[in-house]
Amino acid sequence: MPDNEPHEYQVLATEQIYDGRVISLRRDTVAMPGGGDSVREVVHHPGAVGVVALDDEGRVVLLRQYRHPIGEHLWELPAGLRDVDGEPPLETARRELAEEVQLAAERWSLLATPYSTPGFCDEMVLVYLAEGLTEVPLPDGFTVEHEELDMTVERVPLADAVQQVFDGTIRNALAVIGVLAAAQAKAVAPRLRPVDAR
């Protein structure tokens, strides 16, 4: 008969393998249920934010951006790393919205907080809904560079974006989650967590 008490997955040993600009990799030896241990490789990521920017006509702002690991351009949401020390996630979302699509929002809601790939990575993404959009200039000191020089920005009716998820046109996980969550939020008005929740 299995024990109903949850097992404590104690880390018995850890070894740092790699430290990069964005990610790091470590190897943990972890105590397993029933005795023994197993090695788990863990990618540490600072986390990210994504923004479903929805205009007054019900259109979502999408970016088409090249992603080198898969060698393709993907349709995505405005998004970015939580790589500024001490910056609250909502402020990161506001900054990314201004930097990537030159927009500000009057109303913000927290839609979802998914772990992107919890089998090997600790990245958590906070997905926000931004409404009451207005155009703003690029923030002072921000320079568009690298893949962002090649980005395409479009506004797509939310219902069409949902269909693009099912067609396989939108494949970025954050965009899939954000578009479907926004559509559900607009359709049934679920109870959302406070905007500063985690």
Residue with tokens 């992107």: 116
Single-letter amino acid, residue 11:
V
Residue 49 near residue 92, CB atoms below 8 Å: yes
**Within 10 A of 153 (CB to CB), how many other CB atoms are there?**
14
Task: Give catalytic residues, as residue numbers.
Answer: 148
What's the CA gap between 72 and 151, in Å, rounded? 12
Copy the structure tokens of residue 31: 């105590």
Segment 164-196, tens digit of pLDDT: 999 999 999 999 999 999 999 999 989 999 898
74: Cβ contacts below 8 Å, ≥ 6 apart: 64, 65, 67, 170, 171, 172, 175
Copy the structure tokens of residue 178: 């954000």
DSSP state of 17: E
DSSP state of 5: S
DSSP 3-state of 56: coil
What's the CA gap between 181 and 18, in Å, rounded? 35
Residue 27 near residue 37, CB atoms below 8 Å: no
Average pLDDT, the chain: 93
DSSP bridge partners of 24:
19, 44
Residue 86 near residue 9, CB atoms below 8 Å: no
Copy the structure tokens of residue 8: 């404590």
Domains, the chain, with CATH or none: 11-44 (no CATH), 48-188 (3.90.79.10)
Phi, psi of 177 (to 5 degrees): -60, -45
Task: Report the C-alpha dihedral over residues 89, 73, 176, 145, rounded to 10 degrees.
Answer: 10
Distance of CA 101 to the CA centre of its chain: 16
DSSP state of 137: P
One digit per residue, the tens of pLDDT, for the chain of length 198 reads 455 788 899 999 999 999 999 999 999 999 999 889 999 999 999 999 999 999 999 999 999 999 999 999 999 999 999 999 999 999 999 999 999 999 999 999 999 999 999 999 999 999 999 999 999 988 777 776 666 677 899 999 999 999 999 999 999 999 999 999 999 999 998 999 989 887
